[in-house]
């Protein structure tokens, strides 16, 4: 698939950085046609951004950038000292990451300016809420671009844009992608905002109209030192004057606290949602009906009832978040519920159709303790839960995931997820310990807790154990297409594993 490229612009460094970074008179006339933060991706005419990295300062590669055609470098004071002997003009900023995002937006024509732009953050629900919002925008006749975990889409169609991070792209890539979408007709954007993206200023230069907070649970503590740091990173999306409206789910202490911070700082007016009696948007009921669920919501004394194809209490909450954000953006409520009614998201409560006689199977990304428990709680029991956890990530959540599954499932099977560089057996054992420890404290815990080993055989085991009336939940990887193990990327999609395992089991029983 050919990559869509953003047309290059040609502007003087003085005009580009005016009001953002002080430019020495001798550098103002330098012509800039692009930005690059990776010396290996520098093109002739680029302003190279030498940023502090995890192990190396980007300014160390100034000579490589110049050889590739960089006309100047943006960096911090430390980076400028590293380049005193380099024949490359240096622009110094106190926060070069923030400046890079602002410069990228300006160089790309400020693509979010004048286009409705919605941002969603939280530990879980970002992708689902974003997809619901994109569907709601399309139902209202808009051409909606989506940027997030599942890549880049425009009007629901995948775009072959360059993706360098799992969810929130680096600011240069983000602005170029937004500009490319705008060039294809996008008049609105929905994007997921991760804590890493916010902390690393990747969203600088974006003009948000409405921002939303779904929840906060234990995750990414390999990146953030504490939950407090994690929360403060998320809270950056709600800083004063960044968006005209905010929507906060106040079902948790984190949401209540965020709401207080926004109001204390005199930030945008806040619409809240949740089950609480004081919420502006309040779910009063939801129940399954013919393969979907009906949701009842009260807003400003008015009852709204609508249908969702996505099951689960948490998806009812996700839908109301999308509805509240769309309302804050001025969209018609009737069109919104029409749009989100049939939203489906790959790897999120995804039903795997195995045909007659097969057990119901759900594949979901749930990879935190809170998400695991919420999903399993929403399912009809008895249920077999296949769980895991990624390697080289927060090891403290592994036992908590096991405990969450033990509280809600009838059979728990622990399988490899993405071990990365860790010993898969060590990861599984930590999850098993959490599950067994929790089960010992329950009067009605799971009948079996099993070490399923490798994922393909564990999936097959889960399906083989499913008795009539049982449901199988395959959790942790969702729509991920590769398993990372000892430096190798192994093609592995959970929905494919389920289909292959069921076919083999059928052939054996034939």
pLDDT-based confidence at 5, cuts 50/70/90?
A: low
Burial class (CB in 10 A: 0-12, 13-18, 19+), 421: exposed
For residue 42, pLDDT over 50 is answered with yes
Q: Which tops the pLDDT comparison, 189 or 285?
A: 189
> Please, are residues 398 and 431 in contact by the beta-carbon 8 Å criterion?
yes
Give the tokens for residue 45.
Answer: 């005419």
pLDDT band at 84 (very low <50, low <70, confident <90, very high): confident
Pairing label, strands 292-299, 281-289 = antiparallel
Kindly tell me the sign of the dihedral angle through the C-alpha atoms of 221, 394, 171, 72. Answer: positive
pLDDT at res. 221 = 77
What is this structure's pTM? 0.89
CA–CA separation, 18 and 70 (whole Å):
20
For the residues 267-285, what does the mean pLDDT come to?
Answer: 84
Element of type H or E holding 26: none
Res 2 pLDDT > 50: no
pLDDT at 311 over 90: no
Spatial CA neighbour of 47 closest among 66, 22, 23, 60: 66
pLDDT in tens, 131-180: 999 999 999 999 999 999 999 999 999 888 766 776 789 999 999 999 99
Residues 454-472 pLDDT 10s: 999 999 999 999 999 999 9
At residue 276 the predicted structure's pLDDT band, cuts being 50, 70 and 90, is: low
Split at pLDDT 50, 70, 90, the class of 399 is very high
Predicted confidence band at 323 (pLDDT cuts at 50, 70, 90)? very high
- The rounded percent of the chain whose pLDDT value lies above 70 is 97
Cβ-count burial 281-320 (b if 16+ within 10 Å, e if not): bbbeebeeeeeebebebbbeeeebebbbebbbbbbbbbbb
pLDDT confidence tier of residue 21, bands split at 50, 70 and 90: very high
Residue 7 has pLDDT above 70, yes or no: no
Task: Indicate if the alpha-carbon torsion angle 342, 347, 350, 353 is positive or negative.
Answer: positive
| Range scoring the smallest mean pLDDT among 157-166, 479-488, 498-507 | 157-166
- Helical axes 333-340 vs 126-139, angle rounded to 10°: 120
Q: 351 φ, ψ to 5°?
A: -80, 135
Supply the CATH classification number for the domain 11-107. 3.40.1390.10
Predicted local confidence at residue 1, as pLDDT: 35
CA distances from 94 to 58, 78, 218, 237 (A): 15, 10, 32, 21
Domain boundaries defined on the chain = 11-107, 116-340, 350-509
Four-way CATH pick for 350-509: 3.30.1330.60, 3.90.190.20, 3.90.226.10, 3.40.50.450 = 3.90.190.20
Length of the chain: 510
Neighbours of 4 (CB within 10 A): 17
pLDDT of residue 316: 93
Distance CA 362, CA 133 (A): 23
How far apart CA 373 and CA 9 sit, in angstroms, is: 49
Q: Are 321 and 273 in contact (CB under 8 A)?
A: yes
Find the mean pLDDT for residues 428-432. Answer: 98
Q: By mean pLDDT, which of 258-272, 352-366, 469-483 is the weakest?
A: 258-272
Q: CATH for 116-340, among 3.40.1190.10, 3.30.450.20, 3.40.50.720, 3.30.360.10?
A: 3.40.1190.10
The model's pLDDT over 189-226, given as tens digits with 9 standing for 90+, comes to 999 999 999 999 999 999 999 999 999 988 877 888 99
| Burial classification of residue 236, based on how many CB atoms lie within 10 Å of its CB (0-12 exposed, 13-18 middle, 19 or more buried) | middle
User: Looking at residues 87-101, what average pLDDT do you find?
Assistant: 95
pLDDT value at residue 290: 79
Residue in 331, 283, 324, 323 with CA at minimum distance from that of residue 303: 283
């Amino acid at each position: 698939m050919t990559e869509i490229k953003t047309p290059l612009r040609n502007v003087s460094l003085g005009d580009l950085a005016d009001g953002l970074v002080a430019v020495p008179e001798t550098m103002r006339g330098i012509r800039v046609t692009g930005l690059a933060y990776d010396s290996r991706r520098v093109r002739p005419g680029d302003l190279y951004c030498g940023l502090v990295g995890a192990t190396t300062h980007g300014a160390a590669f100034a000579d490589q950038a110049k050889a590739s055609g960089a006309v100047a470098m943006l960096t911090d004071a430390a980076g400028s000292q590293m380049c005193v002997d380099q024949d490359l003009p240096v622009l110094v900023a106190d926060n070069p990451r923030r400046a890079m995002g602002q410069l990228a937006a300006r160089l790309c024509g400020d693509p979010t300016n004048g286009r409705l732009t919605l941002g969603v953050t939280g530990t879980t629900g970002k992708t689902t809420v974003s997809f619901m919002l994109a569907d709601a925008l399309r139902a209202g006749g808009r051409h909606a671009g989506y940027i997030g975990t599942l890549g880049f889409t425009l009007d629901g169609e995948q775009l072959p844009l360059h993706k360098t991070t799992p969810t929130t792209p680096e600011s240069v890539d983000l602005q170029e992608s937004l500009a490319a979408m705008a060039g294809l007709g996008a008049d609105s954007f929905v994007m997921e905002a991760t804590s890493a993206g916010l902390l690393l200023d990747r969203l600088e230069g974006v003009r948000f109209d409405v921002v939303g907070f779904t929840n906060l649970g234990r995750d990414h503590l390999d990146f953030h030192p504490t939950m407090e740091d994690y929360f403060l990173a998320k809270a950056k999306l709600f800083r004063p004057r960044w968006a005209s409206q905010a929507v906060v789910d106040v079902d948790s202490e984190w949401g209540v606290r965020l709401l207080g911070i926004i109001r204390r700082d005199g930030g945008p007016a806040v619409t809240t949602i949740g089950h609480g009696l004081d919420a502006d948007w309040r779910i009063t009921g939801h129940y399954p009906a013919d393969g979907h669920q009906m949701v009842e919501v009260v807003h400003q004394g008015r009852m709204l009832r609508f249908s969702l194809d996505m099951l689960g209490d948490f998806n009812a909450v996700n839908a109301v978040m999308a509805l509240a954000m769309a309302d804050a953006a001025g969209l018609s409520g009737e069109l919104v519920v029409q749009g989100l009614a049939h939203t489906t998201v790959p790897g999120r409560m995804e039903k795997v159709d195995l045909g007659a006689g097969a057990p119901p199977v759900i594949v979901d990304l749930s990879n935190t303790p809170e998400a695991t428990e919420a999903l399993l709680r929403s399912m009809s029991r008895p249920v077999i839960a296949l769980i895991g956890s990624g390697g080289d990530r927060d090891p403290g959540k592994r036992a908590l995931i096991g405990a969450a599954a033990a509280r809600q499932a009838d059979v728990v099977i622990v399988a490899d997820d993405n071990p990365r560089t860790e010993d898969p057996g060590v990861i599984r054992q930590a999850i098993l310990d959490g599950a067994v420890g929790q089960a010992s404290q329950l009067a009605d815990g799971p009948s079996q807790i099993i070490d399923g080993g490798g994922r393909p055989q564990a999936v097959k085991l889960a399906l083989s154990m499913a008795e009539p009336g049982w449901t199988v939940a395959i959790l942790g990887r969702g729509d991920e297409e590769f398993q990372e193990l000892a430096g190798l990327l192994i093609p592995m999609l959970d929905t494919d594993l389920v289909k292959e395992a069921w076919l083999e089991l059928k052939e054996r029983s034939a």
